[in-house]
């Protein structure tokens, strides 16, 4: 299998972390998005959205969307389980994962789209008030996570799941690219961050 990646971008990193947790090797194809390599007619055949990551199977079939790719990987490499086993666990992890994506990642994206660094990689028509609102939403969400991690070890409870991967990538991106580092006072959130950052898969992918 081949994974189309763009170094430094968060969604392909989610998939690389997921693969590392599973111990699955794929061939990494690096796309230079600054040269629009993800917009060529050949690439758009693989993913009409013109986005990375894309997983290309050995028979040429392609999957876009990080979570869809991770679900495929989980299907063919079920262990360790990262999406849940029984109906309740599957739904609970899905709920927690969607909350991280819909309530935190979307706000980080709004802050990125309306912040200073994005203009180095693409032209942006920015709305400062949108950034102020999304910055505040991110900070509120960090406070919520800090409370949640006072009683739960991981995002979905007692075990590490795909939701932890999405949260880690989101927080690291927000910290390094959007200037939205969680407050030092959020000790429970930082306890979780240290725990997951020390996983072998994370150290391997982030080169620590």
Ligand X SMILES: N[C@@H](CCC(=O)N[C@@H](CS)C(=O)NCC(=O)O)C(=O)O
Nearer to ligand X, 106 or 137 (CB): 106
Strands 54-56 and 2-5, bridge-based pairing: antiparallel
- Is residue 38 at the binding interface for ligand X, with CB under 6 A as the rule? yes
Q: Which one of 2, 62, 65, 130 is in contact with ligand X (CB under 6 A)?
A: 65
- Is residue 11 at the binding interface for ligand X, with CB under 6 A as the rule? yes
Q: How far is CA 35 from CA 21, 38, 39, 148, in A?
A: 31, 8, 9, 42
- Is residue 97 at the binding interface for ligand X, with CB under 6 A as the rule? no
Nearer to ligand X, 20 or 54 (CB): 54
- Is residue 47 at the binding interface for ligand X, with CB under 6 A as the rule? no
Closest approach of Cβ 161 to ligand X, in Å?
Answer: 17
Cα 200 off chain centre by? 17
Closest approach of Cβ 66 to ligand X, in Å?
Answer: 4
Nearer to ligand X, 17 or 149 (CB): 17
Rounded distance between C-alpha atoms, residue 7 and residue 99, angstroms: 26
Nearer to ligand X, 10 or 115 (CB): 10
Q: How far is CA 138 from CA 96, 97, 143, 150, in A?
A: 16, 16, 9, 19
- Residue 14 Ramachandran class (φ > 0 left, ψ -120 to 50 alpha, else beta): alpha
- Is residue 52 at the binding interface for ligand X, with CB under 6 A as the rule? yes
CB 174 within 8 A of CB 100: no
Q: Which residues bind ligand X (CB under 6 A)?
A: 6, 9-11, 33, 38, 51-53, 65-66
């Amino acid at each position: 299998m081949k994974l189309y990646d763009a170094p430094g971008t968060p969604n392909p990193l989610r998939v690389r972390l997921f693969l590392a947790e599973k111990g699955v090797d794929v061939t990494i194809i690096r796309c230079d998005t600054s040269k629009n390599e993800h917009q060529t007619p050949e690439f758009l055949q693989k993913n009409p959205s013109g986005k990375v990551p894309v997983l290309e199977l050995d028979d040429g079939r392609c999957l876009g969307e990080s979570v869809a790719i991770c679900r495929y990987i989980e299907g063919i490499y079920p262990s360790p389980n990262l999406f849940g086993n029984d109906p309740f666990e599957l739904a609970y992890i899905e709920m927690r994962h969607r909350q991280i994506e819909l309530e935190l990642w979307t706000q980080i994206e709004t802050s990125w789209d309306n912040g200073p660094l994005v203009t180095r990689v693409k032209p942006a028509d920015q709305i400062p008030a949108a950034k102020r609102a999304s910055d505040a939403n991110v900070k509120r969400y960090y406070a919520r996570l800090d409370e949640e991690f006072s009683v739960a070890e991981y995002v979905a409870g007692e075990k590490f799941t795909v939701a932890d991967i999405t949260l880690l990538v989101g927080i690291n991106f927000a910290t390094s690219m959007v200037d939205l580092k969680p407050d030092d006072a959020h000790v429970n959130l930082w306890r979780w961050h240290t725990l997951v950052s020390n996983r072998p898969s994370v150290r391997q992918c982030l080169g620590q």
